[in-house]
Amino acid sequence: MQYLEATRRLYTAAAQTPDDQLCCVSTPPWRMPDLQIPDIMHEMNYGCGTTVHPRDIPDDAPVLYIGVGGGLELLQFASLARRDGGVIGVDNVPEMLEACSANLEQARELNDWLTPRAVQLRAGDALQLPVEDDTVGLVAQNCLFNIFREEELDQALREAHRVLRPGGALSLSDPISPRPIPPHLQADDRLRALCLSGALPLEGYLARIVAVGFGTIEIRGRRPYRILDKERFGLDEHLLLESVEVVAYKTPVPEDGPCIFTGRTAIWFGEAQSFDDGKGHVLRRDVPAPVCDKTAAALDALGLEHLIVTESTWHYDGGGCC
């Protein structure tokens, strides 16, 4: 397909000549204890947001990272996993794999703990992963899936689901759009490869993740990403793209729909020490309880004077029940 070829060409060039302007975010240099990151990895940071959240690291199954770029997030995952075979990186651009391998070599000079077998690089495609079924604890991708058209996006999500063991997690960081991106921009292969015109509205993006079988979803972060301004991009109105960090779990999708945590909280402040909704949610008085959107809506609908349900913060950090 022509746009996939255009994507390969763009990232071949980005592997050969690092371009710190290629991706459109300026993130502060990531610091972790006992981790030195070579400058070249920052220059080749072609992602938005992060997929690296320490609490997701599996102890007994590898992390699979799709679309390696300069290796920054591979190194961060390796630093957290700290074991041989802890991280596998897959990319379909040979030059990117070579650059990433050279960058990891530099990282080994700076970090004694980084063994040659901590990260294994494999040539392969997100649409046909070179990985066995049900073997991976965490799959991560940053700023790749948004490039795909919907058919390929569904295929990439099915592949991530296939290789994850039950209960495993898919960590994604991608741009999203407040409304569908107009067809003339979607059809621009270069803008798409630059992560500027393939973004979906959040609801559509999440619906596709659920459709392949991820039953629990957490929104870990959401922030401004880029303006597509009406003059340069031929639009009626400016379009503010955001980036979103999502972690989706390979758990069965409940009959009444997925559990999607967007940072909503329920707080009971009535006379009783706790409030029980009879559906498995017991709220202790005055203690904010993170709840998924389905439960938030059900609790809100009760219309109780001493129960408030807060809006989405788009920053969920665990501790909730569905």
Ligand X SMILES: C[S@@+](CC[C@H](N)C(=O)[O-])C[C@H]1O[C@@H](n2cnc3c(N)ncnc32)[C@H](O)[C@@H]1O
Select 69 or 258, whichever has its Cβ closest to ligand X.
69
Residue closest to ligand X when measured from CB atoms: 47
Q: Which of 57, 75, 96, 248 binds ligand X (CB under 6 A)?
A: 96
**Residue 226, beta-bridge partner list:** 241
Least Å distance between CB 247 and ligand X? Answer: 16
Applying CB under 6 A, what is the total number of residues that bind ligand X? 23
Q: Which amino acid is at 38?
A: P
State which of positions 36-95 bind ligand X (CB under 6 A). Answer: 45-47, 66-69, 72-73, 90-93
Can you spell out the DSSP letters for 38-80? -HHHHHT---SS----GGG--SSS-EEEES-TTSHHHHHHHHH
Least Å distance between CB 11 and ligand X? Answer: 3
Q: Which of 135, 176, 137 is nearest to 153 (CA)?
A: 176
State which of positions 112-141 bind ligand X (CB under 6 A). Answer: 125-127
Cα separations (Å) of 276 from 30, 271, 285, 305, 322?
42, 13, 11, 15, 14
Select 129 or 296, whichever has its Cβ closest to ligand X.
129
Q: What is the largest CA-CA distance in the chain?
A: 66
Select 98 or 125, whichever has its Cβ closest to ligand X.
125
70 vs 104: CA distance, rounded Å: 9
CB 288, CB 265: distance < 8 Å: yes
Task: Give 98's contacts (C-beta < 8 A, 6+ positions apart).
Answer: 15
Select 51 or 111, whichever has its Cβ closest to ligand X.
51
| Region binding ligand X by CB under 6 A among candidate stretches 81-89, 142-150, 264-272, 299-307 | 142-150
Q: Strands 87-91 and 63-66, how do they pair?
A: parallel
Least Å distance between CB 93 and ligand X? Answer: 4
Q: Which of 76, 103, 111, 142 binds ligand X (CB under 6 A)?
A: 142
162 vs 133: CA distance, rounded Å: 5
Least Å distance between CB 304 and ligand X? Answer: 45
Least Å distance between CB 70 and ligand X? Answer: 6
Residue 153 in the binding site for ligand X (CB under 6 A): no
State which of positions 3-42 bind ligand X (CB under 6 A). Answer: 7, 11
Binding site for ligand X (CB under 6 A): 7, 11, 45-47, 66-69, 72-73, 90-93, 96, 125-127, 142-144, 195
